[in-house]
Amino acid sequence: MNVIHRESLAPGVTRLSTDASLPRPHLAICGGIHGNEPCGVAALRWLDGRLADAPTWVRAGTVLLANGNLRAIAQGRRHSEGGVDLNRIWDFRYQTRLVRDAWAYEHARALELAPVFEDVDAVLDLHSSTSASPPFAICNAAPGSAALAKHMSVPFVVEQWISLENRVLTGHLAQRSIPAVVVECGAHQAPSSLQVAQQVSQRFLAHWGLLQEPDETPASDTTRFVRIAATLTKPSERFRFSTPIEGFQKLSRGTIIGRDDFTELKLVHDCYAVLPNDQVAPGDDVLYLAVPSSTST
């Protein structure tokens, strides 16, 4: 392979291949599905540069680099102004429940992106979080996804996240039996988040033999598998955490997580805090509680 074939599949989506016949595997990496999460977008730019260099490829294959929410990325927001969360509409119910004139940018963008992922062999979806957190992966229900997540060599893998189901991209892909893994790389602006995004992107492609493993020795045997046992929504505008909570902080039974003028949230089991964010709107998810998964031992 001397020349890498490159083409644009849709706005913000580039396909690179070692051969014009587009050999398998077809692997997609997505960044910026939330526009205020810069590490994924930056990792895609980095990969684009590396994959343009033919000798970087260890074996033949095809890689799709997909920038998710283009308008939100330009605005530096989770979703576009007046729009909706692009990672909560992949059940496509809006197609029958919402008249076309009422669609936001994201509704049209999800339909534009869907064909991109239709025939791929696996997907990596890069994210970052509001709160500080060690990197963690989330696998979907498709065969091969848990092994792929473990190969990411991050400290935690979430293997069940029932509340989000098929509203997220990876859930939509699970229904098509396409293994897909989200990696939450760390806090939005932390420099380490970009390093993690680059490392896991390389590990993802190395899992399929397309690239070399990154220099760091994978330590996947230390990965702990957890499942989301509870989803807490923000009860009111005035609700706040009692003390600042970091991602994957261990919380003990009896801890009062937070309160507003009328309620107090107290834990009755030990658990891990996942994606804590008390700045969300009332009714939105303020915290997920994870417990060790039965398959983790």
CB of 40 to Zn ion, least distance (A): 8
Q: Which is nearer to Zn ion, 127 or 150 (CB)?
A: 127
How would you list the strands of the sheet with 240-241, edge to edge? 240-241, 256-259, 264-266
The residue type at 230: A
150 binds Zn ion (CB under 5 A): no
Helix pair 191-207, 38-51: axis angle to 10 deg: 50
Written as one string, the DSSP assignment of 114-175 is HHHHTT-SEEEEEEEESS----EEEE-SSTTHHHHHHHT--SEEE---TTTGGGSHHHHHHT
CB of 151 to Zn ion, least distance (A): 21
Q: Which is nearer to Zn ion, 16 or 168 (CB)?
A: 168
Q: Which is nearer to Zn ion, 129 or 293 (CB)?
A: 129
Q: Which stretch binds Zn ion (CB under 5 A): 109-117, 124-132, 258-266, 279-287?
A: 124-132
127 binds Zn ion (CB under 5 A): yes
79 binds Zn ion (CB under 5 A): no
Cα separation, 291 vs 268, in Å, equals 12
CB of 15 to Zn ion, least distance (A): 23
Size of the residue set binding Zn ion (CB under 5 A): 3
Q: Which stretch binds Zn ion (CB under 5 A): 36-44, 159-167, 211-219, 275-283?
A: 36-44
CB of 91 to Zn ion, least distance (A): 18
The β-bridge partners of 64 are 15, 28
Give the tokens for residue 97.
């429940």
CB of 127 to Zn ion, least distance (A): 3
Q: Which stretch binds Zn ion (CB under 5 A): 32-40, 144-152, 173-181, 282-290?
A: 32-40
What are the respective helix, strand and coil percentages of the chain, to the nearest 5? 30, 25, 45
CB of 255 to Zn ion, least distance (A): 26
34 binds Zn ion (CB under 5 A): yes
Cα separation, 183 vs 154, in Å, equals 9
Cα separation, 4 vs 30, in Å, equals 20
Cα separation, 176 vs 134, in Å, equals 30
Cα separation, 115 vs 197, in Å, equals 24
151 binds Zn ion (CB under 5 A): no
The residue type at 254: G
CB of 56 to Zn ion, least distance (A): 28
Q: Which is nearer to Zn ion, 34 or 234 (CB)?
A: 34
The β-bridge partners of 125 are 30, 182
Q: Which is nearer to Zn ion, 33 or 178 (CB)?
A: 33
Q: Which stretch binds Zn ion (CB under 5 A): 1-9, 27-35, 106-114, 268-276?
A: 27-35
Q: Which is nearer to Zn ion, 37 or 159 (CB)?
A: 37
Q: Which is nearer to Zn ion, 113 or 211 (CB)?
A: 113
* Interacting residues with Zn ion (CB under 5 A): 34, 37, 127
